Each structure stands twice: as structure tokens, then as C-alpha cells.
């Protein structure tokens, strides 16, 4: 078993609580599905949000997906003038037998533009 980091991001349509929560659920669920993970295999998750998303903590959405025992943290992404707006990002540290080359990073909605090299 190895420890791997999985990255992901999703763009939210508006800074509204329900939209932030729904987008975060979509992102976390897709990371878990594509990497065939359970919450027990997740060591920790760091969420960041662009400075224009302040209506809710993304980690709250993960709690509803069974991450009650997983350490979660939220932070604000640095404010860069040309950055994509309204983006929730995550870095999940997981235990997995997958080699690094088979880890599936997930970029959804407008956040696909952040990583065109691995866009789904």
C-alpha cells in the first residue's frame, strides 16, 4: 500500500451555499469513483477555494459523504489576477495499491481548463 496524492477541481456557477456544496459533492464523488476508493482509504483532504467563494466551507460537503473520521481542511487559494474564478480545488492523500501513473486526477466543468493535459 502506498500513499498517493490526488488532485481535483471544479468550477462553481455562483457563490451560493448550495452550489458550493453540490459542486464539492460532485468533485469528491468523482475522485472516489474514478480511483475506486472508500472513505477508509482517505488519509486527509485539503480543500481550497478561490477568494470569490465565501458562502460555505467545501469540507462540509465531504462530511455528508462519509468522511466523518477523515481530517479535512479548507483554505483560500491565492488571489492571482488572471485566475479562473469560482473554483474549489482539492488534494486528497490516500492509501492505494495504484501506481502513481494510474491515479486519476479529476477536473470538472470549467476547471478542465486548469489542466488541459489531463482533461477528461
CATH number at residue 31: 3.30.1330.40
Q: Which of 34, 98, 109, 115 is catalytic?
A: 115
Q: 93 with 12: CB under 8 angstroms?
A: no
Q: 1-60, pLDDT tens digit by residue?
A: 899 999 999 999 999 999 999 999 999 999 999 999 999 999 999 999 999 999 999 999
Instruction: For residue 41, give the nearest of 14, 6, 16, 11 by alpha carbon.
Output: 6
Alpha carbons 17 and 53: distance in angstroms, whole number: 9
Grid cell of 13 as nine digits: 456557477
DSSP letter string, 74-88? EEEPP--TTSPSSEE
Which is the catalytic residue, given 30, 74, 98, 109? Answer: 74
Question: Which range of residues forms the domain containing residue 75?
Answer: 2-115
- The SS3 of residue 6 is strand
Residue 107 falls in the annotated catalytic set: yes
Q: For residue range 72-85, what is the model confidence (pLDDT) as tens digits?
A: 999 999 999 999 99
| Active-site choice (4, 56, 86, 89) | 89
Annotated catalytic, 17? no
- CA separation for the pair 104, 75 (Å, rounded): 23
Backbone angles phi, psi at 62, to 5 degrees: -65, -35
Tell me what pLDDT residue 120 has: 54
pLDDT in tens, 85-105: 999 999 999 999 999 999 999
Please report whether residue 120 resides in a domain: no
CA distance 82 to 70: 33
In a domain, 31, yes or no: yes
The confidence score (pLDDT) of residue 56 equals 97
Measure the CA angle with vertex 12, ends 9 and 17; round to 5°. 115
Our count of domains for the chain comes to: 1
Amino acid at each position: 500500500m502506498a500513499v498517493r496524492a490526488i488532485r481535483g477541481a471544479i468550477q462553481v456557477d455562483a457563490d451560493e451555499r448550495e452550489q458550493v456544496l453540490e459542486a464539492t459533492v460532485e468533485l469528491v464523488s468523482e475522485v472516489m469513483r474514478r480511483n475506486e476508493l472508500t472513505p477508509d482509504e482517505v488519509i486527509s483532504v485539503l480543500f481550497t477555494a478561490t477568494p470569490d467563494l465565501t458562502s460555505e466551507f467545501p469540507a462540509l460537503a465531504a462530511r455528508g459523504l462519509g468522511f466523518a473520521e477523515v481530517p479535512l481542511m479548507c483554505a483560500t487559494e491565492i488571489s492571482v489576477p488572471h485566475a479562473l474564478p469560482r473554483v474549489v480545488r482539492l488534494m486528497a492523500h490516500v492509501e492505494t495499491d495504484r501506481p502513481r501513473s494510474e491515479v486519476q486526477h479529476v477536473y470538472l466543468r470549467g476547471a478542465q481548463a486548469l489542466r488541459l493535459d489531463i482533461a477528461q
